[in-house]
Amino acid sequence: MTRRSLLTVMASAALGATGAESPFFNVTPPSELRYTRETAAALRAELYGLLGVLPPRDRPVGVRKLSEEKREGYVLETLLLDLNGLEEVPAYLARPENLAAPAPAVLFNHSHGGGYDIGKKEFIEGRAYLQMPPYAKALTDMGYVALCIDAWIFGERAGTSEMDMFKAMLWQGRVLWGMMVYDSLKALDYLVAREEVDSSRVATLGISMGSTMAWWLAALDERIAVTVDICCLTDLHTFLRERSLGSHGIYYYVPGLLNQFTTSDINALIAPRAHLALAGLQDKLTPPEGLDMIDANLQRVYADWGVPEHWKLLRYDTGHMETPQGRAEIVKFLQSHLTRDLPGIQ
């Protein structure tokens, strides 16, 4: 065999191993949603069951207040929470000044963006891909109490690499994303128990990794009345087919997820509660074809519930960022579905 022939054979073999026909990348999603009103509770339990070995869901939450300071128009508490019994969780809680009655609350989920040292600081300082003011200021100006924790491997919990944490947990039956979701669910437990909070009016929001956390949390926990996800409503099957897996950190991947769920199935579990999604048409994390499928599925689900206005997908000709128009729509959506009236603000 000549050298050229050998190279041709090797190239063909490589193409066959990584080409578009690979069975691990051309996974056809189910033609029908698994979600129905009758199956929703069972599907939530099934979804939670994919998150690996987790601490008891009903374990008590411990809290230490480290400091409290007045900022421009709001009070910022620095907290250390015992959510999981394994590692303490630093957190910020922002509340409006002069609250006289329980107020709506928002669990803010910080993003990834490679900023492992940033974490919850995004809540009070902002990020380059978020509009100003930072959400601690924006939400308290609206009369809301808001909480943000450092996720595993971020902020004050940084120090172990994402890959090492993922591998160490996996060897012990744990899933990094599962542990992140668990901490956020326990943070929600803490938030709704605060005396300043009206537990019937709770929202969650975030961008990028924080967006994904928002729709996972709302799917799993019906206490969340309003969901806002910015730039990460990713159709997983489309993402796989387009071979974009390297665009997400390893934290994102849950073993067995695509064997049981589509992105539409997960997000359908939020219905009939209010859900606003915002996406960039140039954002590689949210392929337009996938957004089309999710939108069509959720339009049907919300119409079946009789509340089509509770689902809204907005697309902007931009990349992976919050736009000024998007921020305005988020404020309007929260005011419409969460605020109602705020007798507690003086």
- The ranges assigned to domains in the chain are 39-339
- Pairing verdict, β 74-82 and 62-71: antiparallel
Confidence of residue 31 (pLDDT cuts 50, 70, 90): confident
Taking residues 17-26, report their average pLDDT. 68
User: Encoding tokens for residue 191?
Assistant: 């938030």
Q: What is the pTM of this model?
A: 0.92
Paired strand residues for 105: 145, 202
Q: For residue 224, what is the DSSP state?
A: -
Q: What local confidence, expressed as pLDDT, does residue 340 receive?
A: 64
pLDDT at position 302 over 80 = yes
Distance CA 124, CA 111 (A): 13
Superfamily the domain 39-339 falls into:
Alpha/Beta hydrolase fold, catalytic domain (3.40.50.1820)
Distance CA 190, CA 224 (A): 13
Q: Which sign, positive or negative, has the C-alpha torsion 305, 308, 310, 314?
A: positive
Instruction: Let me know if 333 is exposed, middle or buried by CB neighbors in 10 A (0-12, 13-18, 19+).
Output: buried
Confidence of residue 148 (pLDDT cuts 50, 70, 90): very high
CB under 8 Å to 233, separation ≥6 — which residues?
A: 211, 215, 263, 267, 277, 279, 286, 291, 294, 313
For the chain, helix (H) and strand (E) counts, in that order, are 12, 9
Distance CA 173, CA 177 (A): 12
User: Encoding tokens for residue 132?
Assistant: 């100003």
pLDDT at position 159 over 80 = yes
Distance CA 75, CA 56 (A): 32
Confidence of residue 21 (pLDDT cuts 50, 70, 90): low
Q: Which of 318, 283, 322, 314 is nearest to 131 (CA)?
A: 322
